[in-house]
Structure formats: structure tokens, C-alpha cells
Amino acid sequence: MLGVSPARNQEVLEKFVADYSERGYQFAFGLCRNAEDAKELVQEAFCRVFRKWNQYDSSQPLEAWFISILRNVYMDSVKRYERRCVLSLDATLDEDGGSLSDCLADANEEEVLDRISRQRMAVEVQKALRGLKVEYKAILTLYDVEGLTYERIAQVLQCPLGTVRSRISRARSALKEAVLRMGKEVNGYGM
């Protein structure tokens, strides 16, 4: 498969997309936390892969190359757009699929405040996550969201196992600091 450019062989193209679509989507979603944006990131990453297929070093894992391109696509998108976080009355609050407006209609004041507090916390964590370095976001996504082992992450990112461990530790510390900092900045909302 590797010797043939996907642009020249429909079968190779279809196999590559089938093999990497879901993993790419999960990784992209972990970075941007938006389904439509994740789909667009993956689509752009596939386009770059097909344009740069002749630059692929077949001695390296194909998945690592694809994830690296996808991460770069995400970094480019972050540079182009500023994301805003909005507390929406129609946003889903929990696993039950209830929105804030449903919650307001069906719950007592304490339950409403608890749900709003949880949603605000989730919003703050997402803001903090978006503010992290891309390398930290990527490593947290691979480990905490996708559930990859340290060994698999080392293979995907093409770095030593010790580097994976230290990046995860530093990423978690940076996320915690960012959330705590945001908690102090949000009026009436602390951790």
C-alpha cells in the first residue's frame, strides 16, 4: 500500500481513509471538542496526506505521520480562529440529554444551580484545555480520551516512553493550573 500514492489509486485511497478516519476523528475531537470542527480537521488532514504522500518516510509508522499532520492542521486552525465559549440554554448538560432550559422547567432551585455549576465547570475546563500547548492537548487526548497506553503513545508520537510520561504529567499540571487560575478569575466561581 505504501508504495502507491492514494491520489493515483482509488483502492489505496479508500483503504487509507477507512483505516484512519475514526482514529483521526477521535484525536481531532479530543483537541477541538467540536464534532463539526473535528470532521473538518480530519478532512483537511487527509487532503494534506494525499498532497504530501511522496514525502512519507516508510520507515516510520503511517499512523504517527497522519496524527502529526492532523495535529499540525489543528495548530493552523487555532492560529486562524479564536474560539468563544458560550453558555447556551439549549446545550446538553448531562448524559440524559437534558438542556439548561429543560432543567429550569423541571427542577428545584438547588438542582438548577448544581447543573449550571457543572456546566460552567465543564466550560472552564474546556477553555483551559484550549489554552494549553498543542503538545499537551495532544498527549492528554491520546491518553485520557482515547485510552492509549504509554507505549502506544510513544509509538504514535515517535518519542521515548519517558518523554510520554513526563509530558502527561506536565500537561495535567498545566491543565490544573489553568483551571485554578480561571476559577479565581470567574466572579463567584471558585474551585
List the domains of the chain with CATH numbers. 1-83 (1.10.1740.10)
Dump pLDDT digits (tens) for 10-69.
Answer: 787 788 889 999 999 999 988 888 899 999 999 999 999 888 888 888 888 888 889 989
- At residue 135's C-alpha, the angle toward residues 147 and 129, to 5°, is 75
* Residue 83 backbone class (left: φ over 0; alpha: ψ -120 to 50; beta: rest): beta
Measured from the Cβ of residue 39, the count of other Cβ atoms closer than 10 Å reads: 15
24 membership: H or E segment, kind and range: helix 10-32
- In one letter, which amino acid is 179? V
Mean pLDDT of 92-100: 54
The CA distance from 141 to 151, in Å, is 15
- The model's confidence at residue 89, banded by pLDDT at 50, 70 and 90, is very low
Identify the pLDDT of residue 16.
Answer: 85
Q: Tell me what pLDDT residue 173 has.
A: 92
The pLDDT assigned to 3 comes to: 55
Q: Phi then psi for 99, rounded to 5 degrees?
A: -95, 170
Write phi, then psi, for 189 (nearest 5 degrees). -135, 105
| d(C-alpha 132, C-alpha 31), whole Å | 10
Q: Residues with Cβ < 8 Å from 113, sequence gap 6 or more?
A: none
- pLDDT score, position 57: 85
